[in-house]
């Protein structure tokens, strides 16, 4: 099933896992003001990663062997 077809609980679990992965990347550096993806960005990512999730032992799982990366965008702002 596609990401949007998963229950809200399973969608939140996948988003939590990806957010935790991103936080781990952040901990290795010092970054402030991180803006995490919104629901649509998560949905697009998970649907592109794998269009067929299944629930195994109560958790969503994917058989996809797709690799992925987390990239950060730098925004420069002048504090006033």
In a domain, 18, yes or no: yes
**Is 10 domain-assigned?**
yes
What mean pLDDT is predicted for residues 56-71?
78
Indicate whether 21 belongs to any domain. Answer: yes
- Print the domain residue range for 44: 3-62
pTM of the model: 0.59
Reference 22, options 35, 9, 40; nearest CA is 35
Quote the DSSP letter at residue 58: T
Total number of domains in the chain: 1
SS3 51: coil
For the cut 80, the answer to whether the pLDDT of residue 61 exceeds it is yes
Residue 77 in domain: no
For 40, other C-beta atoms within 10 Å of its C-beta total: 9
Mean pLDDT is lowest, of 33-37, 61-65, 69-73, for 69-73
35-53 pLDDT tens trace: 788 999 988 888 888 878 8
The pLDDT confidence band at residue 10, using thresholds 50, 70 and 90, is very high
**Average pLDDT over all residues of the chain:** 82
């Amino acid at each position: 099933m596609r990401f949007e077809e998963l229950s809200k609980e399973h969608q939140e679990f996948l988003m939590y896992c990806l957010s935790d992965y991103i936080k781990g990347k952040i901990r290795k550096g010092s970054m402030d003001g991180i803006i995490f993806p919104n629901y649509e960005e998560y949905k697009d990512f998970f649907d592109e990663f794998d269009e067929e999730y299944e629930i195994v032992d109560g958790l969503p799982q994917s058989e996809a062997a797709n690799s992925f990366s987390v990239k950060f965008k730098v925004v420069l702002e002048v504090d006033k």
